[in-house]
């Protein structure tokens, strides 16, 4: 066995342990567990941190940002996708692109927006290298959504504003789901699920979460 195969086997084993942990934490969707089994999370971070890639924790990705904890990626994906077939999804906060890569396996098309240019560029190159082709990338403030690509049947936000940006509500299709952490202070936020109905929006308050702040403007 050469060293690359050795690394590959270690990561497969630790990735499998991550999947077992997600099952223990209550993630039941096989589709989602399979998607997370397929995406090599260690390729989404610096070599120095790669050995910790399958721990259930968020880790730094540079520029003061973090890759989300596997449990939260799984939970948000489960809440968004559930049994539905999603055609056109918007993700705000590409970061390192890990969650984008998971989503790309479960929905027809992902549109992802990141305000920090180096993160946007690196994620785009990385997913291209992994031969993931059903993703469009935009460097912009996600508070504007992505009007040219709207409407979306799912919107997922990976940074926490103090209130739901109006443009995201406007760009949600009827029947579509928006998942967003709300609250400025880290550790004091809650995940909210918004469903657009014919006549308005149903807002459901879900579990407490901890996300980086949603920032205005391009970085």
Name the residues annotated as catalytic.
Answer: 68
Q: Does 53 bind ligand SAH (CB under 6 A)?
A: no
**Distance between CA 203 and CA 212 in Å, rounded?**
22
| CB count in 10 Å sphere of residue 9 | 11
Q: How far is the CB of 79 from ligand SAH (least distance, A)?
A: 15
Instruction: Among 45, 80, 92, 191, indicate the residue that binds ligand SAH (CB under 6 A).
Output: 92
Binds ligand SAH by CB under 6 A, chosen from 15, 88, 95, 196: 95
Report yes or no: 154 and 80 within 8 Å, Cβ to Cβ: yes
Cα separation, 97 vs 3, in Å, equals 26
Chain center to CA of 146? 16
Binding mask 103-132 for ligand SAH (x = CB under 6 A): ----------xxxx--x-------------
Of the pair 137, 200, the CB lying nearest ligand SAH is at 137
- Does 177 bind ligand SAH (CB under 6 A)? Our answer is no
Residue with smaller CB distance to ligand SAH, 161 or 176: 161
Beta strands in the chain, from DSSP E residues, in sequence order = 59-62, 65-67, 88-92, 109-114, 135-139, 152-157, 172-182, 189-196, 201-209
CB 2 to ligand SAH: min, Å: 30
Q: How far is the CB of 133 from ligand SAH (least distance, A)?
A: 18
168 is an interface residue for ligand SAH by CB under 6 A: no
Q: Torsion over CA of 124, 130, 135 and 136, rounded to 10 degrees?
A: 20
The one among 27, 33, 67, 182 contacting ligand SAH by CB under 6 A? 67
Cβ–Cβ < 8 Å for 153, 88 = yes
In the complex, minimum distance from the CB of residue 120 to ligand SAH, in angstroms, rounded to a whole number: 9
40, with CB counted inside 10 A (0-12, 13-18, 19+), is middle
Report how many residues bind ligand SAH under the rule CB under 6 A. 23
């Amino acid at each position: 066995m050469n060293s690359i195969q050795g690394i590959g086997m270690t990561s497969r084993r630790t990735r499998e342990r991550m999947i077992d942990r997600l099952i223990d934490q209550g993630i039941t969707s096989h589709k989602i567990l399979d998607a997370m089994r397929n995406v090599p999370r260690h390729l989404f971070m610096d070599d120095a941190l790669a050995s910790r890639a399958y721990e259930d924790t968020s880790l730094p990705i540079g520029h003061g940002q973090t890759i989300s904890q596997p449990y939260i990626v799984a939970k948000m994906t489960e809440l968004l996708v559930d049994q539905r077939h999603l055609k056109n999804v918007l993700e705000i906060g590409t970061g390192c692109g890990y969650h984008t890569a998971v989503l790309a396996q479960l929905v027809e098309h992902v549109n992802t927006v990141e305000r920090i240019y180096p993160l946007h560029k690196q994620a785009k190159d990385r997913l291209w290298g992994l031969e993931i082709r059903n993703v469009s990338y935009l460097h912009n403030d996600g508070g504007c959504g992505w009007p040219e690509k709207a409407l979306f049947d799912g919107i997922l936000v990976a940074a926490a504003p103090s209130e739901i940006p109006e443009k995201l509500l406007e760009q949600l299709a009827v029947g579509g789901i928006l998942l967003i952490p709300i609250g400025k202070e880290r550790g004091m936020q809650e995940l909210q699920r918004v469903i657009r109905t014919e006549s308005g929006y149903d807002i459901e308050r879900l579990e407490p979460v901890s996300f980086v702040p949603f920032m205005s403007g391009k970085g």
